C-alpha cells in the first residue's frame, strides 16, 4: 500500500517528513537498511558534485546538488533521531549557535577588519571551545590544513576540488580515511 507523499508547505519540513516516511516500516527497504557508516560515501559524493556544479557555473545544477547534499544531512539526522541521539532541529540549532559564537565581530563586541582576522578569531574560538571540552586538539585528518590553505589562497576552489578528486581517484584511501 502506497504512502501519500508529504505535502508540508515548508520545503525543509517536507523533506524531513519524506525522510521519515522513507524510514517508516511502510517506507523504502534500502533507506531502512542504511546507517551512518553506509552513507559516508554518499556524503563525499554529493559534496564533490556540489564542487563540480560550482566549477561549471550552473546555478540550476548547483541548486540540485545542494539539495542532494542537504538530503544527506537530513538522512543522518533522521537515523540519529531514531536512535535517540539527536534530531534535525538539534543539528541546525547547533550550527546556528556556533555561527553566532564564532562571529563576535557581528553578533557581539569583537573586532575583525578583514577576512584574515576573522579566520584567526575563528581558530582562537575553536581552540577555546576544545579547551573547555577538555580536548586540546581536533582529531587528525587527512585534510588538515587544506581549508586554511584554501582560505588564504587565490585558488581555493582548486585546492578543495583537488582534495576531493584525490579521494575519488584513490577509493582505497577514501575508505581508510573514513574508518
* 41 found inside a domain: yes
Q: Please report the pLDDT score of residue 4 as a whole number.
A: 92
* 72 found inside a domain: yes
Q: Please report the pLDDT score of residue 157 as a whole number.
A: 54
Taking the mean position of all CA atoms in its chain, how far away is CA 93? Answer: 14
* 161 found inside a domain: no
pLDDT tens figures, 107-122: 999 999 999 999 999 9
Q: Is 73 exposed, middle or buried (0-12, 13-18, 19+ CB in 10 A)?
A: middle
The structural domain count of the chain equals 1
pLDDT tens figures, 55-107: 999 999 999 999 999 999 999 999 999 999 999 999 999 999 999 999 999 99
Contacts of 19 (CB under 8 A, 6+ apart): 31, 71, 74, 75, 78
The Cβ of residue 151 has, within 10 Å, a number of other Cβ atoms equal to: 14
* 28 found inside a domain: yes
* 103 found inside a domain: no
* 94 found inside a domain: no
C-alpha 166/C-alpha 173 separation (Å) is 9
CATH number at residue 24: 1.10.287.1080
pLDDT tens figures, 5-60: 999 999 999 999 999 999 999 999 999 999 999 999 999 999 999 999 999 999 99
Element (H, E) at 76: helix 59-82
* 156 found inside a domain: no
Q: Who wins on pLDDT, 38 or 178? A: 38
Q: Who wins on pLDDT, 89 or 2? A: 89
State which residues form the domain around 16: 8-87
In order, the DSSP letters of 35-49 are -HHHHHHHHHHHHHH
Residue 142: pLDDT band by 50, 70, 90 thresholds?
A: low
Residue 135: pLDDT band by 50, 70, 90 thresholds?
A: confident
Amino acid at each position: 500500500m502506497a504512502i501519500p507523499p508529504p505535502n508540508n508547505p515548508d520545503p525543509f519540513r517536507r523533506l524531513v517528513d519524506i525522510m521519515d516516511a522513507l524510514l517508516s516500516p511502510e517506507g523504502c527497504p534500502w533507506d531502512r537498511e542504511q546507517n551512518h557508516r553506509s552513507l559516508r560515501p554518499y556524503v563525499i559524493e554529493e559534496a564533490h558534485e556540489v564542487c563540480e556544479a560550482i566549477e561549471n557555473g550552473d546555478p540550476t545544477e548547483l541548486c540540485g546538488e545542494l539539495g542532494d547534499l542537504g538530503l544527506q544531512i537530513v538522512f543522518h539526522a533522521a537515523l540519529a533521531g531514531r536512535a535517540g541521539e539527536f534530531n534535525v532541529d538539534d543539528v541546525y540549532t547547533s550550527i546556528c549557535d556556533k555561527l553566532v559564537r564564532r562571529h563576535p565581530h557581528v553578533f557581539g563586541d569583537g573586532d575583525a577588519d578583514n577576512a584574515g582576522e576573522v579566520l584567526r578569531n575563528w581558530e582562537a574560538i575553536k581552540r577555546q571551545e576544545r579547551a573547555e571540552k577538555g580536548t586540546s586538539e581536533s582529531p587528525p585528518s587527512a585534510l588538515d590544513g587544506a581549508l586554511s590553505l584554501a582560505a588564504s589562497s587565490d585558488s581555493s576552489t582548486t585546492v578543495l576540488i583537488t582534495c576531493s578528486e584525490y579521494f575519488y581517484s584513490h577509493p582505497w584511501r577514501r575508505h581508510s580515511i573514513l574508518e
